C-alpha cells in the first residue's frame, strides 16, 4: 500500500522505501544552500573507498591531473571490469594512516547542480570508534554500506548505533556490489528488511535502501536501470540532495557572547555567532546566567545594519539598556530559554589513553564558556550488544553516560535540540589535553532527578578546515574558538591552530 502523498512529503511505500519526491521538496532542496554533511560507514572491503571515489568522480570533483594519475595507476590493478580503481583516489590518505600520522577524519567535498556535500571518511575498525563518533557528530546523514553478498554484520550494528547516538536521524543503506549477486532483487529486499528492523530498534525511521554498484557507478550518481529494471527508487545522490540539514532544526535564539565591543562611549555591542534560532530588532532577550532582560535595538554585521540574523551569522547585537554582559554569557530568546543549572547528564566519547577518571575535576568548554566540572561515569555502551552496562571508569574510545557537577551555573540546550549549545569538550587541567567530547542529554535537579528525559546529546565539531584531504581537528564545542589539534597514532598532540570565526 502506498502512503497518501501530501504536498511536502516524500512518497514512500509501506516498507518506507522512497517512491517519489514531490515538487515542493525538490524546490526546497534546490534553495537550501547549506552543504549536507554525511558520513560513510562500512566494514573493511565493503567498498567504502570505491563509493566515495565514485561519488567524487561522477560529480566531477576530481581534478584532471588526479584523474590522469588514476587512469594510469589503475591500469596494472586487477579489475576485471577495466574500470579505474576509484579507491585509489583515497590512497594518499591511506598512506598517512599506515604511517600512523594524523588523521582522525578526512573530509571530502563534492557538489551537484543542486547542492554541495561534505563527506566524512573514517576508518571502520573497532579501535577507531572515536573517529567515527567525530565524523558522525557533525553529520546530517549516515550512509551505511554492506556487501550484497555478505549482508549485515556486527559492524553494521556498531556503526548504526554510534550514528544514532550522535544524533543522526537519516540513514541510507547502500547495498553495494549488487553486480556480484547478478542484481538479485530478493537478496536486496531481504537485506533492506533486516536493516529496517535494526534501524527501528534504534529509533530511526528515515531509512532509504539502495541497491548499488560503486565500482560500476550504478545508482550512485547515475541510475542503474539498465541492470536493475526492478528498482525505481532514487539514486544515492538524489537522496543526499533532498536530505535535511540538522542546523535547520534549532529553534530558540542563542548568542554565546564572544566579545563585548566598546568602540566609543555611546556604543556597546555584544559580538558572537548566532548558535540557534533567529533575532530581529524589537525582540526581547534574556542574558544568562544573570537573567537580566533587554530588548534588541540593532543588529550589525561587518558594517551593515540588518533587519534580522539567523543561526550561523556573525553579528554584533545592540540592546536598549545598560546590562552587565561578559564573554561566556549567552543572550537568548525570552520565550525559549536553554537549561541552566549545576548538574547535567551527558554522553561522552573518551579520547585519551587515560580515559575518564571518576570524580576528577576537568575544564569543560562549550562555546566561549569554560567552567570547572566534576565528571562521574555511570555507564558504558557495549557496542557489540548495543546495551548500556554500569561503569565507573571510561577507557579510551568508550562511549559513556556521565553525570556532570558544576561549581557555577552552567547553560546548555540538550544536544538533540541544539548541536552548538549542547556540545562540549573536557580538558585535563594537568596536561591541557582534550580528553573527551560530549553532548548534553538532560539537566538533573539538585536531588538527582532528571528534568528533560531522553534528549540526546552530541559533539559539535568544526569540520571544514581548509585542506580537502586532511582535516585534523578534534572535538570542539564551538567552531568559533575550536582548537585544532593534530592527532598522531591516536595520541594527543599539539594545538596547531584555532579557528576564529
Ligand X SMILES: Nc1nc2c(ncn2[C@@H]2O[C@H](COP(=O)(O)OP(=O)(O)OP(=O)(O)O)[C@@H](O)[C@H]2O)c(=O)[nH]1
Binding residues (CB under 6 A) for ligand X: these are 42, 44-50, 85, 87, 124, 176-177, 179-180, 213-215
CB of 239 to ligand X, least distance (A): 17
**8 Å CB contact between 248 and 286:** no
CB of 214 to ligand X, least distance (A): 4
Q: Which residues define the annotated binding site?
A: 42-49, 121-125, 176-179
Choice between 183 and 415, CB closer to ligand X: 183
CB of 48 to ligand X, least distance (A): 4
**8 Å CB contact between 107 and 70:** no
Cell output for 362: 576537568
Q: Which residues define the annotated binding site for GTP?
A: 42-49, 121-125, 176-179
274 vs 331: CA distance, rounded Å: 10
Choice between 211 and 414, CB closer to ligand X: 211
**Side-chain-facing half-sphere of 484: CA atoms under 13 Å:** 20
197 vs 151: CA distance, rounded Å: 14
CB of 436 to ligand X, least distance (A): 27
What b/e sequence results for 337-358 when a residue is b if at least 16 CB atoms lie within 10 Å of its CB, and e otherwise?
A: bbbebbbbbbbbbbbbebbbee
**8 Å CB contact between 230 and 211:** no
447 vs 233: CA distance, rounded Å: 52
Instruction: Report helix, strand or coil for 81.
Output: coil
> Could you tell me the sign of the dihedral formed by the alpha carbons of 273, 275, 280, 286, in that order?
negative
Choice between 33 and 78, CB closer to ligand X: 78
479 vs 367: CA distance, rounded Å: 8
CB of 77 to ligand X, least distance (A): 8
Choice between 213 and 460, CB closer to ligand X: 213
292-301 vs 267-273, strand pairing mode: unpaired
Choice between 179 and 473, CB closer to ligand X: 179
| Strand ranges (E), 150-245 | 170-176, 206-211
Choice between 152 and 286, CB closer to ligand X: 152
CB of 339 to ligand X, least distance (A): 40
Locus of grid cell 552552567: 410
Spatial CA neighbour of 500 closest among 477, 478, 475, 481: 481
DSSP 3-state percent helix, strand, coil across the chain (nearest 5): 20, 35, 45
CB of 118 to ligand X, least distance (A): 18
CB pairs under 8 A, 24+ apart, for 20-28?
A: 21/234, 21/238, 21/242, 25/242, 26/242
Q: How many residues does the chain have?
A: 501
CB of 406 to ligand X, least distance (A): 41
Choice between 188 and 424, CB closer to ligand X: 188
Choice between 144 and 294, CB closer to ligand X: 144
Supply the DSSP symbol for 392.
S
Choice between 178 and 373, CB closer to ligand X: 178
CB of 143 to ligand X, least distance (A): 12
Torsion angles phi and psi, residue 345, rounded to 5: -100, 145
Instruction: Report helix, strand or coil for 53.
Output: helix
Instruction: Report helix, strand or coil for 314.
Output: strand
Spatial CA neighbour of 344 closest among 329, 364, 326: 364
Choice between 64 and 80, CB closer to ligand X: 80
CB of 101 to ligand X, least distance (A): 17
Amino acid at each position: 500500500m502506498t502512503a497518501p502523498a501530501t504536498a511536502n512529503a516524500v512518497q514512500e511505500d509501506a516498507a518506507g522505501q522512497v517512491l517519489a519526491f514531490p515538487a515542493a521538496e525538490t524546490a526546497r532542496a534546490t534553495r537550501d544552500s547549506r552543504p549536507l554533511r554525511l558520513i560513510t560507514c562500512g566494514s573493511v572491503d565493503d567498498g567504502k573507498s570505491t563509493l566515495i571515489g565514485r561519488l567524487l568522480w561522477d560529480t566531477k570533483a576530481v581534478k584532471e591531473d588526479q584523474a590522469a594519475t588514476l587512469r594510469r595507476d589503475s591500469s596494472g590493478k586487477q579489475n576485471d571490469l577495466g574500470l579505474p580503481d576509484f579507491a585509489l583516489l583515497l590512497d594518499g590518505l591511506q598512506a598517512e594512516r599506515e604511517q600512523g600520522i594524523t588523521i582522525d577524519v578526512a573530509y571530502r567535498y563534492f557538489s551537484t547542480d543542486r547542492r554541495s556535500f561534505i563527506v566524512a571518511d573514517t576508518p571502520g575498525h573497532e579501535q577507531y570508534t572515536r573517529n567515527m563518533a567525530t565524523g558522525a557528530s557533525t553529520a546530517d546523514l549516515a550512509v551505511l554500506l554492506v556487501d550484497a553478498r555478505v549482508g549485515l554484520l556486527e559492524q553494521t550494528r556498531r556503526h548504526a548505533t554510534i550514528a544514532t547516538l550522535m544524533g543522526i536521524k537519516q540513514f541510507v543503506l547502500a547495498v553495494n556490489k549488487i553486480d556480484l549477486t547478478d542484481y538479485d532483487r530478493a537478496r536486496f529486499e531481504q537485506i533492506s528488511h533486516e536493516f529496517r528492523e535494526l534501524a527501528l530498534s534504534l529509533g530511526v525511521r528515515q531509512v532509504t535502501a539502495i541497491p548499488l554498484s560503486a565500482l560500476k557507478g550504478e545508482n550512485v550518481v547515475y541510475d542503474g536501470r539498465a541492470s536493475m529494471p526492478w528498482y525505481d527508487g532514487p539514486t544515492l545522490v538524489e537522496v543526499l540532495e533532498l536530505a535535511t540539514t540538522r542546523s535547520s532544526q534549532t529553534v530558540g535564539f542563542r548568542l554565546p557572547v564572544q566579545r563585548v565591543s566598546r568602540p566609543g562611549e555611546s556604543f556597546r555591542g555584544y559580538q558572537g555567532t548566532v548558535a540557534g534560532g533567529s533575532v530581529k530588532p524589537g525582540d526581547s532577550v534574556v542574558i544568562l546566567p544573570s537573567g537580566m532582560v533587554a530588548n534588541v535595538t540593532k543588529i550589525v554585521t561587518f558594517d551593515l545594519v540588518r533587519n534580522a540574523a539567523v543561526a550561523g551569522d556573525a553579528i554584533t547585537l545592540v540592546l536598549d539598556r545598560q546590562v552587565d554582559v561578559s564573554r561566556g554569557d549567552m543572550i537568548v530568546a525570552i520565550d525559549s530559554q536553554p537549561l541552566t543549572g549545576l548538574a547535567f547528564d551527558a554522553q561522552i566519547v573518551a579520547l585519551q589513553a587515560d580515559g575518564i577518571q571518576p570524580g576528577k575535576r576537568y575544564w569543560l568548554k562549550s562555546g566561549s564558556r569554560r567552567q570547572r566540572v566534576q565528571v562521574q561515569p555511570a555507564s558504558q555502551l557495549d557496542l557489540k550488544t548495543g546495551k548500556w552496562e554500569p561503569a565507573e571508569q571510561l577507557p579510551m574510545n568508550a562511549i559513556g553516560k556521565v553525570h556532570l557537577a558544576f561549581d557555577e551555573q552552567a547553560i546548555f540546550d540538550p544536544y538533540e535540540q541544539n548541536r552548538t549549545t549542547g556540545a562540549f569538550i573536557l580538558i585535563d587541567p594537568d596536561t591541557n589535553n582534550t580528553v573527551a567530547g560530549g553532548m548534553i542529554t538532560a539537566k538533573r535537579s539538585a536531588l538527582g532527578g532528571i528534568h528533560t528525559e531522553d534528549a540526546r546529546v552530541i559533539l559539535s565539531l568544526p569540520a571544514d578546515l581548509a585542506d580537502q584531504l586532511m582535516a585534523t581537528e578534534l572535538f570542539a564545542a564551538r567552531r568559533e574558538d575550536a582548537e585544532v589539534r593534530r592527532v598522531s597514532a591516536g595520541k594527543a598532540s599539539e594545538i596547531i591552530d584555532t579557528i576564529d570565526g
